[in-house]
Amino acid sequence: MDEKVVENLTMKQLLEEPNSLDDLLIPQSIVIDILLRLLFNEGNVSLSRFTEVMKLPSRIIDDLLLWMQQEHLVEVSKANGQIGRIGYVYTQTEAGKQRARDAFERSLYVGPVPVSIPFYNRGVELQAKRDKKVNAHKVQASLSSLVLPDDFHRRIGPAINSSTSLFLYGPPGNGKTTIAEIIGRLIGGTDPVWIPYSVTAGGHIIQIHDRLVHRQLPLEGNRHPDYGRFDQRWGYFSRPSVMVGGELKMPSLDLLYDPVAKIYEASLQMKANCGMFLLDDFGRQQVRPMDLLNRWIVPLESEVDFLRLSSGQTVVVPFKMLILFSTILDPLELVDDAFLRRIHVKVHVEPPTEQIYYQIFMRSCNEYKLTFDKASFVYLLQNWYHKTERPLQAVHPRDLIQTIVALCEYEGTPPTLTPELIDAACKSYFVD
């Protein structure tokens, strides 16, 4: 199909259920190879099993099997005469097994038939901007588990709705990662997205679906309220959230080729399209920050990414997601002005004031059913913060109270708050 035609397709047209092999708009050899490999692996396969694995309508599979019968590649091993061809179970002939072996030389992939890459790109373009926005009340409610400045939600809310880019920075232990996870859940709770399980480009298969990233939503009777029966090669998912930390390596940002299976795994950012990509603890990755920034500086500007196949062919895909950086390091030491300009929203997650620290401490006492003692709290501030000039961190109250409760349980005494227990907890918690 002409690219200009694809650019004007609606989501309903993209998801229209195919009626024939030609409607798939991919090389028919890819479909035949998947069917041959499935049959070789399982020996005897029913029509319903073919449709379950390959995500194609039974009429397309049946037409293909009928042709393969005529070519003496498959034969019927079992039949239920009362329901006709739909009850047939197929097995391979010797000629079919040889064709399957040839198919395994090309790839080991057995799964949903892929979607053509231009259709995937159009689907991302149509769905990147969410119809269902998050309002101030919803953001505030999601952040209610944290004690933050009153206007904090206004700093991150616009970035969530615009799906641009966000930089959270500040000292450790003040909730940056928790805030990022909350943002991921907020995005995941907006309107769902259609994502193909796999795509094909240049004759190769790229697997997008990742069970760790994509949470599938059930559709009763394989029908959608707006689209009716749809192309089963597309799954219906919550908006994805990809979260990586210090384990990130540069190859994960490109197509990963499996030399054994002879298929590609989508890059992390491709899996995150229409959702969120969190780069946690930025600056501590196994890849140098400058290398990462050089890799992404063009996609952040153009919203298009360029991925390369082993053949040298370049695959162009959308780069449309909320990119979220979280770091404890000084942003000016990590990136240059050119990159910072491309990150639209920067939010400093500051250490708590004494008032906020007090609120967090009270919440933690209530959570662990520990009676609050004001004199002991003042003792904590004076002896373990003011005298030592230790900065306050939002994570400290919870951790210290957990330690006090554990000490009391160990000694068989009722949990309580005293200067002695505060000293014991702080000595085991802080490193001076």
**What is the Rg, in whole angstroms, of the alpha carbon atoms belonging to the chain?**
28
Say yes or no: 101 and 155 in one domain: no
Say yes or no: 311 and 368 in one domain: no
Percent of the chain at pLDDT above 70?
Answer: 98
Say yes or no: 333 and 370 in one domain: no
Say yes or no: 290 and 248 in one domain: yes
User: Where does a domain end: 293, 321, 348?
Assistant: 348
Average pLDDT, the chain: 91
Say yes or no: 72 and 95 in one domain: yes
- Model confidence band, residue 130 (pLDDT cutoffs 50, 70, 90): confident
Answer for the pair 14, 123: CB distance below 8 angstroms, yes or no: yes
Q: What is the CATH number of the domain that holds 77?
A: 1.10.10.10
User: Where does a domain end: 112, 139, 166?
Assistant: 112
Say yes or no: 338 and 373 in one domain: no
Asked if residue 36 belongs to a domain, the reply is yes
Whose structure tokens read 């919870």?
398
Separation between Cα atoms, residue 277 and residue 271, nearest integer Å:
9
Q: What pLDDT is attached to residue 54?
A: 97
Residue 12 has pLDDT above 80, yes or no: yes
Asked if residue 139 belongs to a domain, the reply is yes
**What's the domain range around 323?**
118-348
Say yes or no: 286 and 386 in one domain: no
Q: Comparing 343 with 369, which gets the higher pLDDT?
A: 369
Say yes or no: 185 and 297 in one domain: yes
How many other C-beta atoms can be found within 10 angstroms of the C-beta atom of residue 67? Answer: 13
Give the SS3 label for residue 257.
strand
Say yes or no: 290 and 372 in one domain: no
Q: How many domains does the chain have?
A: 3
- Model confidence band, residue 210 (pLDDT cutoffs 50, 70, 90): very high
pLDDT tens profile 346-361: 899 999 999 999 999 9
Say yes or no: 38 and 187 in one domain: no
User: Where does a domain end: 348, 381, 400?
Assistant: 348
Separation between Cα atoms, residue 63 and residue 59, nearest integer Å:
6
Say yes or no: 123 and 175 in one domain: yes
Say yes or no: 157 and 208 in one domain: yes
pLDDT tens profile 225-246: 888 899 999 999 999 999 998 7
Query: What is the pLDDT averaged over residues 5-29?
Result: 93
DSSP result, 300-327: HHHSEEEEE-TTS-EEEEE--SEEEEEE
